[in-house]
């Protein structure tokens, strides 16, 4: 009897891949953020006849573009991993709405698509209990 659209183990492995990708990116951005902060406070901009804005605005623009590119890269990877609902095509990962947990958390907890609520797999109850 196999009415599962996606085996839980497969989905878990794919989500782990995406999370790894996100975590790796986060570390890079953490370092970039620190370097940028240090640059803002330590470079004697006035002595070079530069205003801080001359540095900040292009930097902010570049960071926005890079962040967007990163999001696109992760999205492409997720699509390649087929981390989308086979029924409605919605993403099975990503941040949830406001105070609700991340989508992948909901998917793994309930075994349902967070968008159309189709049952993707039957969650294994034995390890769902205990941690809170």
Paired strand residues for 84: 91
Residue 122 near residue 5 (C-beta atoms within 8 A): no
Under the binding rule (CB under 5 A), the answer on residue 115 touching Zn ion is yes
Rounded Cα–Cα distance for residues 75 and 77 (Å) = 5
Please work out the total of residues on this chain that contact Zn ion, with binding judged by CB under 5 A: 7
- According to DSSP H, which parts of the chain are helical? 8-42, 52-80, 103-110
- Of 31 and 122, the one with the shorter C-beta distance to Zn ion is 122
Which range in 31-39, 59-67, 94-102, 109-117 contacts Zn ion by CB under 5 A? Answer: 109-117
Q: Encoding tokens for residue 132?
A: 């809170």
**Residue 119 CB, nearest distance to Zn ion (Å)?**
10
CA 113 to centroid of chain Cα atoms: 17
Residue 32 near residue 63 (C-beta atoms within 8 A): yes
**Residue 118 CB, nearest distance to Zn ion (Å)?**
5
Which range in 7-15, 92-100, 105-113, 122-130 contacts Zn ion by CB under 5 A? Answer: 105-113
**Interaction with Zn ion in 70-89: which residues (CB under 5 A)?**
85, 87-88
Site residues (CB under 5 A) for Zn ion? Answer: 85, 87-88, 90, 113, 115-116
């Amino acid at each position: 009897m196999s009415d599962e659209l996606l085996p839980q183990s497969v989905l878990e492995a794919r989500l782990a891949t995406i999370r790894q990708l996100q975590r790796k990116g986060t570390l890079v951005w953490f370092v970039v953020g620190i370097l940028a902060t240090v640059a803002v406070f330590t470079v004697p901009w006035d002595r070079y006849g530069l205003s801080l804005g001359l540095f900040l605005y292009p930097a902010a623009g570049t960071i926005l573009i890079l962040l967007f590119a990163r999001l696109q890269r992760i999205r492409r990877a997720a699509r390649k991993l087929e981390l989308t609902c086979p029924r409605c095509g919605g993403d099975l990962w990503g941040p949830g709405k406001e105070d609700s947990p991340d989508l992948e958390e909901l998917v793994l907890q309930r075994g349902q698509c967070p968008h159309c609520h189709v049952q993707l797999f039957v969650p294994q109850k034995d390890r769902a209990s205990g941690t809170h």
